[in-house]
Amino acid sequence: MRPILKRLAIVAIAVLAFAALFATNAKRQVIISKSAGELIGTLGYDKWRVRIIVTSDDGQGFEGELRFTYTRTSLAPDHPVFHRIRTVPPLVRQKS
């Protein structure tokens, strides 16, 4: 896979994983979980930042934040929704 396509695939997976962390319970509260069965807590009304780190053994990664606002009537992305913080080097050093 070409490097740029690989990076785009990684970003798409990260965004999909972010979306999967949120669900609504019987009280119509937004709940956050690490996985299907591990509840972290409920989301209160406020501005939120979710920090993600995307890494790869052989490709350059990044650290950034997804930003959104949760109100009584909506869960809306801030603009810009993604803020890049830094570039993360590959986890495995390449042989020369």
- For residue 88, what pLDDT is reported? 92
Q: How far is the C-alpha of 58 from the C-alpha of 79, rounded, in Å?
A: 31
**Tens-digit pLDDT profile for residues 13-68:** 445 444 446 677 788 788 877 666 677 788 889 998 888 888 888 888 899 988 88
Q: Would you say 54 and 87 are in contact if contact means Cβ atoms under 8 Å apart?
A: no
- In the chain, where the domains are located: 3-88
pLDDT band at 87 (very low <50, low <70, confident <90, very high): very high
Rounded to the nearest angstrom, the gap between the alpha carbon of residue 74 and the centroid of all alpha carbons in its chain is 19
Provide the 3-class DSSP secondary structure of residue 74.
coil
What does DSSP assign to residue 1?
A: -
What pTM was estimated for this model as a whole?
A: 0.61
Encoded tokens for 31 = 């709940």
Q: Would you say 54 and 62 are in contact if contact means Cβ atoms under 8 Å apart?
A: yes
Closest CA to 65 of 88, 45, 94, 86: 86
Please check the confidence at residue 93 and state whether its pLDDT lies above 80. Answer: no
